[in-house]
A = this chain, B = another copy of it.
Amino acid sequence: MDVAKLREDIQAGRFRDLGRAISLVESDDPSASQLLAHLYASTGEGRIIGITGSPGAGKSTLVSALARHYRKEGRKVGIICVDPTSPFSGGSILGDRIRMNELFLDRGVFIRSMATRGFMGGIARATNDVVDLLDAGGFDIILVETVGVGQDEVEIIRTVQTNIVVLVPGMGDDIQAIKAGIMEIGDVFVVNKADRPDADRTVTEIQMMMSLVDEHGDWIQPIVKTVAKSDVGIDELTAAIESHRSYLVASGELDCRSRERVRIRIETMLKEKFMDRLVGGTITLENFERLLDEVHAKTNNPHDAAEDLIERVKF
């Protein structure tokens, strides 16, 4: 597959080859690695923005509103959805889906759901590969929607440039949950459905949490109130994203994050390849399963088993 041709097609709104390439990536086809290796040099222009929040927080509506905003500026928008309950994934309420129809028909917007394909474990790897495809393909804005729960999603969040955490008023204990993981990963906070009466209290609660956690250096995370379904607050949100971008560039953190993204991706790939080759190379699948049986039967133990195996690998 030719990168120049892929770009040209995408600019013209022809997504057939892109769709094919993504399918190769998802099925971990060997030709996918080749393609991705080849087009990697063409990546780096796209803005990778994460949108994280519980189902029901209105992430997809917010993503739609952002996509419409960026489309008005003439930018090409790619949407990758890693939430099986999202309207983008078909797990939809009809009204939501109708509101999104214009996006599905827009040739400047490409939407792909990663969550309903039934592959686990490799979803972080695959999502990052699809980000590369869209980036190399010339999408200016790449929106990655995640719930933020679980191993793969945390890994995905760690590889975006700007992460937006979406909350809704009246969360109660949910706000507490933020402390335990979500707070650290938000570059911008959105209180969506801000037409609800307790929106300001939620803003105050987030501010309180922010005063407890300090992980973002000089960047003070803005809190933006939105009503995504009627486009309220979207200009403020895109301004906040822009200002985070400026911060990232000026502070050199964009470079740090991008290098960290390289590290995470390489380590993930290495670990995947390692288990594949270990079982099949150093030890046959049968013998590996027998080893697990031994440990399970307590005639061996996990520590010695792992150590013995790793000792047989020549580094």
A residues near B, CB below 8 A? 33-34, 36-37, 40-41, 43-44, 54-57, 83-85, 147-151, 154-155, 168, 170-174, 176-177, 179-182, 255, 258-259, 262-263, 265-267, 269-271, 273-275, 277-278, 280-282, 291-293, 295-296, 298, 301-307, 309-310, 313-315
- When the two chains form the complex, which single residue of B34, B168, B277 contacts A310, counting CB atoms closer than 8 Å? B277
- When the two chains form the complex, which single residue of B151, B176, B269 contacts A155, counting CB atoms closer than 8 Å? B151
Question: Are B263 and A292 interface neighbours, CB within 8 A?
Answer: yes
A29 to B301, CA, bound (A): 17
A116 to B269, CA, bound (A): 30
Question: Are A281 and B315 interface neighbours, CB within 8 A?
Answer: yes
Question: Are A269 and B306 interface neighbours, CB within 8 A?
Answer: yes
- When the two chains form the complex, which single residue of B55, B150, B176, B181 contacts A56, counting CB atoms closer than 8 Å? B176
The 8 closest A-B pairs by CB, nearest first: A281-B315, A40-B301, A314-B314, A56-B173, A56-B176, A269-B306, A151-B151, A54-B177
Q: Report the minimal beta-carbon distance from A289 to chain B, rounded to whole angstroms.
A: 9
Question: Are B181 and A150 interface neighbours, CB within 8 A?
Answer: yes
Most buried by B among A151, A174, A306, A307: A306
Known: A292-B266, A303-B269. A149 touches B171 (CB 8 A): no
A and B contact pairs by CB, cutoff 8 A, 9 listed:
A33-B307, A85-B176, A149-B149, A150-B181, A255-B296, A262-B302, A270-B306, A270-B309, A313-B313
Which B-chain residue is minimally distant from A309 (CB atoms)? B270
Copy count, this protein chain: 2
A84 to B183, CA, bound (A): 13
Question: Are A274 and B310 interface neighbours, CB within 8 A?
Answer: yes
Question: Are A270 and B310 interface neighbours, CB within 8 A?
Answer: yes
A275 to B310, CA, bound (A): 11
A36 to B212, CA, bound (A): 37
